[in-house]
């Protein structure tokens, strides 16, 4: 265990600044659809991608973020998102993983708006959406789009699933620096994943620490973080600090 402690200590104290890269989620494992004339105010007719990004559509017009908007807003909605479609990225490979090479704009501008292009033309096209505040990129693909009032606002898509991440500094791994970010921000109001909210539930607590533990995958830390709330947050930090620095004596 001494070797592990020294290794983690070195990891934490290493010089250099995290690259702060975005989180990338690829694939199409989540399917969502809103039926004709379905009540868009009901949770079953909304796609809660994140607590503050909840996508739906009224009986017509475009999609919007009902977590922060009352209705679709031209050349703006869904609030908190930016999109890449073939229309605004002609000839490009459209995927979340290729985010650096893509142009991201509001949903209506990105898909071309009303006319021959626009939402109906996006059906079957690979696309990507940027969740701006959290700096997350997702693969997404519309599979159906209801045209006109007679369609009652029907639409459907498939997208990548967002899974918990304890890589708080976004440097591509989970290590001691991520633990320190969690410890420093425990209890912070309205946190981001990069603050230590590993499971995207809007709080930083021992549930997020458990995600870090699982990702770090070292049994030596299990006894330290297996502590009750609320005092567990402080105890976990003190316990790890004692373990790390105690070996120096």
Determine the pLDDT at residue 19.
Answer: 54
Determine the pLDDT at residue 174.
Answer: 95
Determine the pLDDT at residue 230.
Answer: 44
Q: Three-state SS string across 204-215, please?
A: CCHHHHHHHHHH
Q: What is the DSSP letter of 247?
A: T
**C-alpha to C-alpha distance for 110 and 131, rounded to whole angstroms:** 15
Determine the pLDDT at residue 149.
Answer: 82
**C-alpha to C-alpha distance for 46 and 26, rounded to whole angstroms:** 21
CB 53 within 8 A of CB 79: no
pLDDT along the chain (249 residues), means of 10: 49 49 97 97 98 96 97 97 97 98 98 85 97 98 92 96 97 95 96 98 96 79 43 52 44
Determine the pLDDT at residue 236.
Answer: 53
ω into 224 cis (within 30 of 0): no
Exposure letters 103-142 (e unless 16+ CB within 10 A, then b):
ebbbbbbbbbeeeeebbebbeeebbbbbbeebbbbbbbbb
The H or E element containing residue 7 is helix 2-13
**C-alpha to C-alpha distance for 83 and 85, rounded to whole angstroms:** 7
**C-alpha to C-alpha distance for 218 and 1, rounded to whole angstroms:** 10
Q: Smallest Cα–Cα separation from 83: which of 53, 39, 40, 51?
A: 53
Beta strand 81-84 with 127-131: parallel, antiparallel or unpaired?
Answer: antiparallel
Two tokens at 2? 């001494």
Q: What angle do CA 142, 48, 80 make, to 5 degrees?
A: 80
CB 187 within 8 A of CB 233: yes
Determine the pLDDT at residue 148.
Answer: 84
């Amino acid at each position: 265990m001494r070797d592990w402690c020294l290794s983690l200590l070195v990891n934490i104290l290493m010089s250099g600044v995290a690259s702060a890269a975005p989180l990338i989620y690829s694939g199409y494992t989540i399917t969502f659809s809103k039926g004709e004339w379905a009540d868009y105010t009901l949770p079953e007719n909304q796609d809660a991608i994140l607590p503050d990004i909840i996508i739906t559509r009224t009986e017509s017009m475009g999609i919007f973020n009902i977590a922060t908007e009352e209705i679709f807003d031209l050349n703006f909605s869904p609030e908190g998102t930016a999109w890449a479609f073939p229309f605004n990225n002609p000839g490009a490979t459209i995927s979340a993983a290729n985010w650096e090479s893509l142009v991201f704009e509001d949903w209506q501008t990105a898909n071309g708006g009303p006319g021959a292009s626009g939402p109906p033309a996006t059906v079957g096209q690979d696309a990507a959406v940027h969740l701006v505040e959290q700096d997350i990129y997702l693969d997404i693909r519309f599979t159906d789009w209801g045209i006109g009032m007679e369609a009652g606002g029907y639409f459907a898509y498939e997208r990548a699933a967002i899974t918990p991440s304890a890589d708080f500094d976004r440097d591509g791994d989970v290590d001691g620096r991520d633990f320190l970010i969690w410890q420093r921000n425990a209890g912070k109001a309205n946190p981001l994943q990069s603050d230590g909210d590993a499971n995207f539930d809007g709080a930083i607590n021992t549930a997020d620490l458990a995600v870090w533990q699982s990702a770090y995958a070292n049994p030596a830390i299990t006894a330290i973080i297996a502590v009750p709330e609320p005092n567990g947050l402080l105890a976990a930090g003190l316990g790890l600090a004692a373990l790390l620095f105690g070996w120096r004596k």
